[in-house]
Amino acid sequence: MTIGLLVLASIAIITLDYRGHAHGVISGVKRGAHDAFSPLQRGVDAIARPVGSFLSGAVHGGDLEAQNAKLRRENGALQRQILINQSTRNSLRALQRLDKLPWVGATPTVTAQVTALGPSDFAATVDLDKGSTSGVAVGMPVVGGAGLVGQVTLVWSSGCTVRLVTDVNSSVGVRFGRQGNLALVQGSGLGRNLAANLIAPGTTLHKGEVFTTSGLQHAQYPPDIPVASVTSFSSTPSATQETVWARPLADLAVLQYVDVLQWQPSP
């Protein structure tokens, strides 16, 4: 009976609404019902939506994880390819610079790749992948795209060890200035500036001035190879020489390829 009464009441209300007799009253009831039940509906949605998302994630979680793993692999592959491309471009530029060294002249060279760095900050050395079978011998100078790198101190059939100009046992006779002043540049350790000694107080100097190998008789290096540029200088009234520091022109921290000059000092 209750259901029947409710059905009849619904039909009556619909009929009245359709004919427009009670449209205002019914619209008001609808607005009241909507205002009353909207907060409840929003609350139910707020509870049901996370539950639905959780259930959906639980069902499709395996697929999402697989997709994420695939994206991570693809991203890693792209990053590796970018690094490889950058390294290839850097290597090509380094080799191109070695082909255009004005101070090499007609001296034969052996192009070599750096394979290892020395283990000590003070024993600044690198190993190369060319040795006696390629014509490399102890005492030969080694240069990079910007200047002097060092000198070969140990050789075996397939490789050699080079003492860098920053090594504490390294000393290079250099020239500088318009007058061709002489000095001795000595290493202070890997990553440190070079000390330029035997420069008389009052000698004209300026920052950025370039020291080149002197090439004097019995010198360890041929002439005119750029070695370092002046970074600072000072003196005191009682000093017997200027205190001068210089930065190696060759970027020794990122060496990739170098040229070994097949040159030996005159006896």
**How many other CB atoms sit within 10 Å of the CB of residue 27?**
11
Q: What is the pLDDT of residues 129-141, one digit of tens each?
A: 999 999 999 999 9
Residue 57 has a pLDDT of 56
The rounded distance, in Å, linking the Cα atoms of 238 and 245 is 19
Domain total for the chain?
A: 2
226, 212 Cβ separation under 8 angstroms: yes
Q: Write out the two tokens for 185.
A: 């540049």
261 and 191 co-located in one domain:
yes
213, 260: one domain = yes
Q: Whole-angstrom Cα distance, residue 11 to residue 74?
A: 63
Q: How big is the chain, counted in residues?
A: 267
91 and 118 assigned to the same domain: no
pLDDT digits (tens, 9 = 90+) for 59-109: 556 677 777 777 776 676 666 666 555 555 555 565 566 777 787 878 899
* Cα separations in angstroms, 191 against 79, 124, 155: 30, 9, 25
The predicted-structure confidence for 216-261, as pLDDT tens digits, reads as follows 878 889 999 999 999 999 988 888 899 999 999 998 888 889 999 9
Q: Which domain-ending residue is among 71, 100, 129? A: 100
C-alpha 49/C-alpha 143 separation (Å) is: 69
